[in-house]
Structure 1
């Protein structure tokens, strides 16, 4: 139902405005240039919704950077924790919006994002008038949903006019790096939306990460993220399969890893995130695949990639195969284990101690 409502709202917004969510040139050309070089002045109050494993660490780094924060999460214990830290907490996303200049969301799935934006007490609950001038969604969702929400947000009117600016803006800004990078403040942001608003938000991104990449118009950040995670999944499967095959043929994973990392097969999955227990320290495979990026999240991202490919008629055999493998891992009870556990639990590879 939530998806149907946002689709209907999206079409209504398109009829009422000239916004063209899929054309980068038209989107940026309609943006009024109101952002100052000192964009931090525009972020007097930052709202954050979604304080899970990633969101809590991102919010903590924003606090460390000296921003005034307002937060919301459905977990009452998490809310109490932030209240005890002296951070303002709100009961609903709408209340966060009413107290913020910019609102960041970090949520598990497209359905959660739609509910936070369009629910009965969502960010857009106040009709056509909106307090925050910038909404940033760092969730990993499909490009279509990002583009539709962006169109709806841009059709609203700011409660308080900023220079000649009358309409709020949305950026889709998913991240790469996982929990460790979120904690260390070394995330990479992939950002879609108007370039002027991206430039204005750079200081905010750098309070949570080491870099940000502008990917183009609305939805392009989300597109970049699902493509990145598709490539990451296929790479991990290839490396795991090769290492398991090597073990079966009598080559130790440690030896084969040295070969891979000094030859044309060298990649992140072999060199920085090796899936074989005993080969590397300080990676999930060294701690029974706990922590890291859960297999259920990889399965979700592969579903998004497959759905996006199907929408545009693109052949995607590797995506489909990876999708089935991670679906099986989850069905077999490994949904909360790091996605590199495919080496042990799908390919039956063995530890090297």
Structure 2
């Protein structure tokens, strides 16, 4: 079994490391958040005092962080991954970042004598907990083959996508499609309700018909229909609006660079930004359903009397 360093023990990294521990690996983790560290430690992760401490003598290093800027910070500097991990360690980033950050990590790792694989995931918190995530691996063939062995305890599907940055490219395109599908599920749910359809009956129909999607099956924004829906819990975040806004923005930046026209993605971004402006950036991204309702109210959501405005 391997010694695996893991930087970023949040909503995704925490359950992912628990599956690695369950597979028999020694996992040493680090996070700035005390609650995240305590939760990971309860699942068998040894908590390090710093990134440098975590990566020392590691066979593999994973990062799972909110933004590209965080990934760069963790890799760079005297206390970072590059300065402290052994050159034999395989470096893998599971974060959703911009293509430029992923390319920088590949190129600078190679310059310093490291091997790097971009290894973003899809499947959400529920998939992380169940060990059924989809991994999209980008890098040199031999490195991707080695990475496959490390990610298997966390994965339901593993795809070798191609060379450097191809994993994150697949992730950005996939997430863009996810959020467009979420718009469809949101608007469809409200149209069905307005015409008097029973919510569960309509969901059962759409589930086996042409309206089906992962967003509808997993995030359907109506309470009491799908167990994993945030609508069952006042739209507390399973995937926050802030993260959704970030991911769509990254996809649109890539699309702009290619000269593409992506109006549906722009609509999703507009609605996420509107939620953030209203102070709901920390709520689940499926709360965009309120923009499809006739009066802005939706079942399962009790707004604060005066939500904080975004800075």
Tell whether the structures are fold-level matches, with TM greater than 0.5. yes
Note the residue ranges of structure 1 that are not aligned, 5 or more in a row.
1-39, 158-167
Q: Does 1:299 align with 2:255?
A: no
User: TM-score, normalising length from structure 2?
Assistant: 0.86
Q: What is the CA-CA distance between 1:261 and the residue it aligns to?
A: 3.1
Alpha-carbon contact 1:70-1:99 (below 8 Å) kept:
no
Question: Could you tell me how far apart the structure 1 residues matched to 2:148 and 2:81 are?
Answer: 23
2:145 aligns with 199
Q: How many residues align?
A: 298
Matches within 5 A, 1:176-191: 176-191=122-137
Structure 1-normalised TM-score? 0.77
CA distance in 2, matches of 1:110, 1:277: 34
State whether structure 2 residue 108 is matched by structure 1 residue 152: yes
The 1:203–1:67 alpha-carbon spacing in structure 2 relative to 1, beyond 3 Å, is: same
Question: How many Å separate the matches in 1 of 2:253 and 2:162?
Answer: 21
Cα shift at 1:321: 1.3
Q: 1:79 Cα shift?
A: 4.1
**Counterpart position of 1:104:** 62
1:171-206 deviation per Cα after TM superposition (whole angstroms, max 9, x unaligned): 111111111211121211111111211212222111
In structure 1, the residue matched to 2:92 is: 136
Where does 1:306-345 land on structure 2 (aligned, <5 Å)? 306-344=252-290
Partner of 1:53: helix, strand, or coil?
coil
Alpha-carbon displacement from aligned partner over 1:202-249 (angstroms, at most 9, x marks no partner): 221111122211111111111111111110100110121122233334
Matched, 1:351 2:309: no
Q: Tell me which residue corresponds to 2:24.
A: 66
Pick the aligned partner of 2:233 from 279, 284, 287. Answer: 287
**Match of residue 75, structure 2, among 84, 102, 117:** 117
Give secondary structure in 2 for the equivalent of 1:215.
strand
Determine if the alignment matches structure 1 residue 172 to structure 2 residue 118. yes
Q: Secondary structure at the match of 1:124?
A: helix
Counterpart Cα distance in 1 of 2:181 and 2:187: 10
Change (3 A) 1:97 1:282: closer
Partner of 1:211: 157
CA distance in 2: counterparts of 1:349 and 1:238, whole angstroms: 18
Q: Is the 8 A contact 2:57 2:86 kept in 1?
A: no
User: What's the RMSD between the two structures over aligned residues?
Assistant: 2.4
Q: Name the CA shift for 1:323/1:78 in 2 (closer, same or farther; >3 Å).
A: closer
Larger-Rg structure: 1
2:47 maps to what in 1? 89
2:233 and 2:126 mapped to 1: Cα distance?
14
In structure 2, the gaps of 5 or more residues are 301-311
Moved more, 230-239 or 314-323: 314-323
Question: Is the 8 Å Cα contact of residues 100 and 131 (structure 1) preserved in structure 2?
Answer: no
Counterparts of 1:338 and 1:84, CA distance in 2: 26
Deviation at 1:345, TM superposition (A): 5.4
In structure 1, distance between residues paired with 2:223 and 2:35: 35
